Amino acid sequence: MSTCFIFFSGKGGVGKTSMACATAVRYADEGQRTLIVTTDPASNLADVFEQTIGHKITPIAVVPNLWAMEIDPDQSAKEYRDRALAPIRAAFPAQMVQVIEEQMSGPCTTEVAAFDRFTDFLDMPASSAQPFDIVIFDTAPTGHTLRLLELPAEWIQSIDSAAAGSGQTCIGPAAAIQDAKHKYERALAVMRDPAQATFTFVLHPEAIAIKETKRAIAELAKLGIHTHQLIVNGIIAREETGNQLFAARAEMQTGYLRQIAAELPLPTRRMSLLAGEIKGVERLRAVAGMFFDGLKDTALAPEHVQRFSADLSLLDTPSAAARLTPNGHNRTIFFAGKGGVGKTVASCTTAVWLARQGYRTLLLTTDPAAHLGDVLGVPVGDKAARVPGVPNLWAAKIDPKVAAEAYKARILEDARQRGRPPEALSVMAEELDSPCTEEMAAFDRFIDYASQKDWPVIVFDTAPTGHTLRLLELPVDWSQQLDIKIFASVDSAAADDVAKARFGQVIAMMRDPERSTFAFVMYPEATPILEAYRAVEELRTVGIEPGLVVANMVIPEGQATTPFVRARRAMHEKYLAEMTVRFPVPVVQIPLLPGEVKGLDMLAELGGQVLGEKVPSGVVAIG
């Protein structure tokens, strides 16, 4: 019997990892040899299983028949280069090998290498040392997953074009990676085969999650992938509607559940919002029992929740506001964190608040699944445009595909102006047609905005943590690469010097707490806190410190009126206390609201509630 592949995808924060892990435990308990692999750069598999996993196939200690792996992009890149360069080292002079090795050490190679490792599992022969009956992919949030799944078709085309032209791609000589092309073709065939692959979309009954799921299904259809299922997660149970706050949210969910049934007529299963977290194998087994067998949740009764007497007066409006306002300097604010924790709401709320204080503010997203327009309630395009109804506010999104076309045209025109011969332009055009160009172009747009002096405040609504770290570390990575002249074939030394100076300015800005603030958004739950903590530690390695924490969707103490809500409030108190220990910076709380945060009026009201109506004294406005 051939291996079955199950992809869990969806918007960040909808419970993909929990559902994927519970499903993996169920299949393993039924005797099927099961592997769960995460393609998310900010993996949480180890947190959920409560054991070390890492970049190797690792048995889950207390679940026979279950293995797990967290694909490490950097380790994948090293392995990829070693494989690609091995035959070249044996056949070519050391100087030529060094040039190729430098070309393959670019940031884009990391993305390709992680993708290449991902396709290994889709192309695993039945005779391999560890044949599996089921392989489950716990993917990154939707926008990045679509990018991953588009790569097989894109790299097949790129390798073919290079083979017919210069013979060189940014991931190695075309002749040396023909085997990779065939592997990608086989991987695409597996994903298109309904007998082998199923895509399970996890979503909450909310507008943005529904929109993102519909978009993802449409994009997969373009790739010839049509086998889909739904898991609607986080549904408030009918018996929990005795609480006013949760009753209002349940009413909101009812409308969206009807919309899902009407607009996404696919095999669908539902999962209730639980009183506590899903961590550890026994909890995963209990969740699998609820999900597959319809059992009741008895694993976490309210009386078993530890109460904390920590000081929860964490709302520090003056200190927080001081870290968001320019105060005599231009300021760039990065909202970062796990997918689905509310970065877009936090960034939109902050941008509207700053604009209403009189600051000329640019709100920008680098997330491929951008939802600025959904939250603002106005369209947001690829160029900075005024937001109607809010003086001093502009907004834009970086679309990687649009940015890539402009980037390619600019680089080639610059080369023509410098008098490069037609054959050199042809080679450059081949290199720029690579899928890697989208990452380079999005990065270039980020640098362009971050270098501008026109905006007293720029607010970045970033992609989920792993991809944000990648973006924020790129100025450092690319500056180092310009030092060793990796792009000498594309640009002149003088242009490299200009680029290095530009990158250096952005690096200095990101490291200066007077000019930039890194605000980490998280739910008061273990996984988002751990992910943010790891991100903070990684950013510290490049000299960037956190400036603010936003605790989102906190249940107000006055709403803890039923056993279920009291249990969730107790969990929030526990993790709010942990935040103050892990992150010695001001903490802002955004409360759980009866409905979704949408529209400029609601954002203005929320900003006043969270950050105060007035700029604190001593803060100097500039415009």
Neighbours of 86 (CB within 10 A): 10
Active-site annotation holder among 23, 39, 40, 466: 40
- C-alpha distances out from residue 378 to 381, 388, 389, 603, Å: 10, 8, 10, 13
The answer to whether 40 is a known catalytic residue is: yes
H-helix or E-strand containing 173? strand 172-173
* 195: exposed, middle or buried (Cβ count in 10 Å: 0-12, 13-18, 19+): exposed
Which residues, 6+ apart, have CB-to-CB distance to 83 below 8 Å?
A: none
> Is 527 tagged catalytic?
yes
Q: What are phi and psi of 154, to 5 degrees?
A: -65, -40
What contacts 245, CB < 8 A, 6 or more positions away?
Answer: 555, 556, 559, 565, 592, 594
Task: Considering the candidates 332, 527, 547, 607, report the single residue annotated as catalytic.
Answer: 527
Which neighbouring-strand residues pair with 454? none
**Which residue among 12, 15, 106, 143 is the active-site one?**
15
Query: The tokens of 285 are what?
Result: 């087994």
Length in residues, the chain: 623
**Spacing of C-alpha 451 from chain mean position:** 24
3, 18, 200, 361: the catalytic one is 18
- What contacts 360, CB < 8 A, 6 or more positions away? 392, 394, 454, 455, 456, 457, 623
- Catalytic: 289? no
Local structure of 432: helix, strand or coil: helix
Q: Which long-range contacts (CB under 8 A, 24 or more apart) does 113-116 make?
A: 113/73, 113/76, 113/77, 113/78, 113/79, 113/80, 113/81, 114/39, 114/41, 114/71, 114/73, 114/76, 114/77, 115/148, 115/151, 115/155, 116/76, 116/80, 116/180, 116/183
479 carries an active-site annotation: no
Query: What residues does 588 pair with on adjacent strands?
Result: 550
Distance CA 516, CA 329 (A): 10
Q: Is 95 exposed, middle or buried (0-12, 13-18, 19+ CB in 10 A)?
A: exposed
The label of the residue with tokens 């993708």 reads 115
Contact 338, 367 (CB under 8 A): no
- The DSSP bridge pattern shows strands 66-70 and 4-9 to be unpaired
Cβ pair 546, 518 in contact under 8 A: yes
Contact between 233 and 209 under an 8 Å Cβ cutoff? The reply is no
Catalytic pick among 11, 12, 16, 366: 16
The catalytic position among 10, 11, 12, 13 is 13
Q: What is the three-class DSSP state of 336?
A: strand
The residue from 3, 11, 12, 17 that is catalytic is 17
Residue 13 bears catalytic tag: yes
Query: How does DSSP assign 42-61, residue by residue?
Result: S--HHHHHTS---SS-EE-T
Counts of helices then strands in the chain (DSSP H, E): 21, 18
- Distance CA(77)–CA(104), nearest Å, equals 9
How is residue 435 written in tokens? 């899928």
Between the two ends of the chain, the Cα-to-Cα distance in Å is 67
15 is catalytic: yes
Residues marked as catalytic: 13, 15-18, 40, 527
